[in-house]
Structure formats: C-alpha cells, structure tokens
C-alpha cells in the first residue's frame, strides 16, 4: 500500500500549499503573458477532499464550465486541470485569437485547440516550478477538453484516480484576470503515492 | 444529495435523491413501488477487483449494497425496477487518455450486475458526451437534467399512481413490460435500441480493457 493521505501532517500540508503557491505563480505568469493582462491569484486551498465532496470544490456544480485536463507523468504522477466558466472560456478564446471581446459564440475546433494550448502552457509552467523546487522529473501528457457541468467534469477527472483512494489531496488556486474577464481554478491533485516523493524531495517527512 | 461512491436509500415521501453532474459515473436509480422505497447509487468505476473497502464506488459492489439497503427498508428485490443515467465520455480529445473513457465500461458493468440479478431496467440514458444530473423522487419518478436539453422525465419507476395513504395497494403489473410479460433480464422500452447500445458498450469495454491493460 502506498502511504495514505491520512498520515499527512500539518507541516506536510503547508509544504504542499507552498508547492501549489510556487507552481500557480508560474502558471499565473504564463497566463498573464499570453493575455498581456495582469492576473491575480489566491492563496492555494490545500485540502483532503473525499470523493463525495470532490465535485463541489470549484465553481457551481451544475454551472456550465470548460475543463482542460492533463495527467502528470514522471516521478510523482498526478493530475492537473484548469477549470473556468464557459463565458470566460469564450472570452479567453477571443483574446487568444485576437478577436474583440464577445465575438466567440461557440467553441469549435480552433477555439478548443487554443484553449487546450493555454492549459498546456499553464500546466507546464506549474510543473516546471515543481521540478525546480523538488528536483523531480515531471511532465504533462497532452490535454483533453470538456465543456459541461462543473460536477460532471470534476467527477470524470476524479474517476481516473478513484480506484485506489477515497480521498485525495487537492491543491486549488483561483486565478482572476484583473478586469474580471476571466475567473478560473487551477487544480493539482498529486496521486497518493506521489505525496511522499514530493515531500521527500523537499526533505520533509510525510 | 448522493455524492460520488455513495449509496442512499429512502422511504420518506418528500425526499428526492440527487446525483449531481454525472460524467463517466452512473446514477443507478432503483424503486420498489409497493414498499415505496427508493435508492440511488452513484457508481464511479466498473470493478472493485476485491481491493477496496469502499463498496459504493464500484458497480460490482455498489449494486448489492444498494439492494441490501433497500431491503432493510422493506423493499423486495423482485419488485425493484431500475433506471440508469450517466456513463458519458466528456473529454473529446486526449489521445491515449483511456482512463477518461471509463463511462462505457461503467455502463456495461452496471448492466451486467443488474441482469445477473434479473433486475428490470425500465429506462436508460447512457453514453454520449453530456453530463447529467439525475433526480429520483420518492414516488419513483426519475428526472434527468443536461446542459443542452434542460430537465425532462426519463421514466416513472412506479408502474401507476398508487393513491397516497394506501401503501401496498394491490400487486403491481405493467402491461407489456418485460417484468410482467417477458423473460426477466431484458431491458425495458426500446429493447432493440438498448440491445444495440449494449453491444456498443461491450465492444468499447473490450477495447478499453485492452488499452488500459497496456497503459496501466
């Protein structure tokens, strides 16, 4: 059995929060550079979330959202996702494709591809920070995009790691573009077996 | 509210069991019209492979648990009718992201568990690429909500209206339904469509099983 999430102490949670802070800082900088706008981020929320609560951790469960999901491969496998309301995804597509705000009405092939690329760049930036911090080798697999109820997107993501665990450590950072154009959540879920690797690399005892 | 991997049952007339935002998960709605016992299982994965103390999560353990809990409230297995919703594949791209394609395997596993027990599936809204919220009312009414199509009634698991205050009003039969007329284990309305669907699910399940073996 891999070390469970039960025996993570407060110091470990703080360490994971710091990991999230630094990762999200990098992701935020990447997003800001792509938008050419200032983006603000919240202090990451780190929590032990049960499967039954998982779908309620970001945004309204039945609200229409766009989720860009990528598995994390390497020494500490996990999952990252960028989740934002559909309206914001349309505006983000406007920005990325050089249209004036409010132009994009639907996410077609081109828009989806652009959004996945943003997700990919943000996730890669997040992980680069983690790699530098921990010395571990981590990379993201190609992104997948879904547009549906927030809860449906989150539960589908959860199903990829649910077989081994009933609860997961989630590191959630809210990213808000300064002018209120975009308000999304960046979610990082290291797999249970990865906590030890991350914490060991930082010379902290799990 | 029935969260992921949870099983809830009720016989209070005001209750509504809700599984919010089913993606690849399956909402298994079960109802005994005579005992007025309703139960909902939010199944996340097809197979426990005997390695988890969390029975609500897997099709092969959640269905027995659901039935057991309903029986505790007075339900009788032979009278229980079922409706299913969920099992979608939300993420369109993702190349080898086979772990995101669990929906069809979930659907196949749930259907197999139900038919093993000769339980009658009156209606199923499965597959596709849309997330669903399913509501099971204590009168057996099953409603499904999606982003595109709003909310609609999928089926009523009560065969007919049993007047309030008259529990157990006679034996219940559905004319022409498989439970009343045909051999058990067959699915409800639109058997052809359901059979086709099941064939597709099984095909996909085999393919996915193959690929997830390789990817782990």
B140 interfaces chain A, CB cutoff of 8 Å: no
pLDDT at B207 over 50: no
Q: Is residue B166 part of a domain?
A: no
Count structural domains, chain B: 1
pLDDT, tens only, B3-49: 999 999 999 999 999 999 999 999 999 999 999 999 999 999 998 88
Which residue reads 């930082």 in tokens?
A202
pLDDT at A137 over 50: yes
- How many residues are recorded in chain B? 216
Which sign does the torsion angle of CA B201, B207, B210, B214 carry? negative
Q: Is residue B51 part of a domain?
A: yes
Which is more confidently placed, B106 or A47?
A: B106
B95 interfaces chain A, CB cutoff of 8 Å: yes
pLDDT of residue A202: 79
* Cβ contacts of B45 on chain A, cutoff 8 Å: 159, 162-163
B74 interfaces chain A, CB cutoff of 8 Å: no
Q: Where are the alpha helices (DSSP H) in chain B?
A: 59-72, 102-116, 191-215
Q: B95, A142: Cβ pair inside 8 Å?
A: yes
- Reading the block at residue A158, the tokens are 């959860």
* Cβ contacts of A71 on chain B, cutoff 8 Å: 97, 99
CB burial class (10 A; 0-12, 13-18, 19+) of residue B84? buried
B141 included as an active-site residue: no
Q: Shortest CB distance from A159 goes to which of B44, B94, B147?
A: B44
User: Do strands B80-86 and B120-126 pair parallel, antiparallel, or not at all (unpaired)?
Assistant: parallel
The reported pTM is: 0.80
pLDDT, tens only, B66-90: 999 999 999 999 999 999 999 999 9
pLDDT of residue A182: 86
CATH number, domain containing residue B58:
3.30.1330.200
Q: Is residue B1 part of a domain?
A: no
Output the CA–CA distances (angstroms, integers) from residue B124 to A8, B19, B59, B128, in the order listed: 42, 15, 16, 12
Report how far residue B55's alpha carbon sits from residue A137's, in angstroms, rounded to the nearest whole number: 35
B215 interfaces chain A, CB cutoff of 8 Å: no
Report how far residue A139's alpha carbon sits from residue A143's, in angstroms, rounded to the nearest whole number: 12
Q: Is residue B96 part of a domain?
A: yes
Q: A149, B44: Cβ pair inside 8 Å?
A: no
Q: Is residue B167 part of a domain?
A: no
CA distance to partner chain A, nearest, from residue B4 (Å): 4
Q: Summarize the confidence of residues B125-139 as an average pLDDT.
A: 94
Helix axes A86-96, A109-134, angle to 10 degrees: 90
Q: Is residue B193 part of a domain?
A: yes
pLDDT at A146 over 80: yes
Of the residues B1, B2, B4, the best mutation for testing chain A's interface (the one with the most A CB atoms within 10 Å of its CB) is B4
Strand partners, B43: B26
Q: Is residue B169 part of a domain?
A: no
pLDDT of residue A197: 85
B148 interfaces chain A, CB cutoff of 8 Å: no
Strand partners, B10: B38
Q: Which domain holds residue B181?
A: 7-161+174-215
Q: Is residue B53 part of a domain?
A: yes
- The pLDDT confidence band at residue A105, using thresholds 50, 70 and 90, is very high
| Complete domains list, chain A, with CATH | 5-201 (3.40.1550.10)
């Amino acid at each position: 059995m891999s070390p469970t999430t039960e025996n993570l102490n407060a110091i470990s949670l703080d360490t994971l929060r710091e990991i999230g802070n630094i990762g999200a800082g990098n992701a935020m900088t990447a997003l800001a550079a792509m938008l050419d706008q200032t983006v603000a981020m919240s202090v990451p929320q780190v929590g032990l979330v049960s499967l039954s609560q998982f779908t309620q951790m970001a945004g309204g469960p039945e609200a229409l959202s766009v989720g860009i999901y990528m598995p994390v491969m390497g020494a500490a496998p996990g999952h990252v996702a960028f989740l934002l309301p559909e309206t914001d995804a349309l505006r983000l597509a406007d920005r990325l494709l050089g249209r004036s705000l409010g132009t994009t009405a639907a996410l077609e092939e081109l828009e989806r591809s652009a959004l996945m690329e943003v997700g990919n760049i943000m996730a890669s930036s997040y992980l680069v920070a983690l790699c530098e911090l921990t010395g571990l080798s981590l990379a993201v697999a190609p992104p997948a995009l879904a547009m549906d109820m927030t809860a449906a997107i989150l539960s589908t993501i959860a199903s990829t790691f649910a077989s081994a665990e009933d609860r997961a450590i989630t590191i959630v950072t809210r990213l808000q573009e300064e002018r209120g154009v975009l308000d999304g959540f960046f979610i990082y879920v290291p797999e249970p077996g990865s906590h030890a690797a991350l914490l060991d690399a930082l010379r902290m005892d799990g | 509210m029935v969260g992921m991997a949870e099983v809830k049952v009720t016989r209070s007339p005001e209750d509504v069991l809700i599984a919010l935002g089913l993606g690849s998960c399956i909402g298994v709605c079960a109802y005994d019209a005579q005992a007025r016992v309703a139960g909902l299982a939010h199944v996340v994965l097809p197979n426990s492979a005997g390695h988890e103390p969390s029975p609500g999560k897997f099709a092969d353990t959640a269905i027995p648990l659901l039935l057991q809990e309903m029986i505790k409230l007075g339900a009788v297995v032979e009278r229980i009718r079922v409706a299913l919703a969920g099992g979608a594949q939300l993420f369109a791209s993702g190349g080898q992201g086979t772990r995101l394609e669990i929906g069809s395997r979930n659907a196949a596993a749930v259907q197999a568990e139900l038919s093993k027990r000769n339980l009658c599936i009156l209606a199923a809204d499965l597959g596709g690429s849309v997330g669903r919220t399913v509501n099971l009312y204590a009168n057996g009414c099953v409603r499904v909500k999606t982003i595109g199509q709003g909310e609609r009634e999928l089926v009523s698991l009560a065969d007919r209206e049993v007047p309030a205050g008259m529990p157990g009003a006679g034996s219940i039969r559905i004319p022409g339904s498989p439970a009343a007329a045909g051999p058990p284990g067959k699915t409800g309305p639109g058997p052809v469509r359901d059979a086709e669907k099941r064939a597709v699910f099984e095909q996909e399940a085999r393919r996915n099983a193959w690929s997830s073996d390789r990817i782990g």
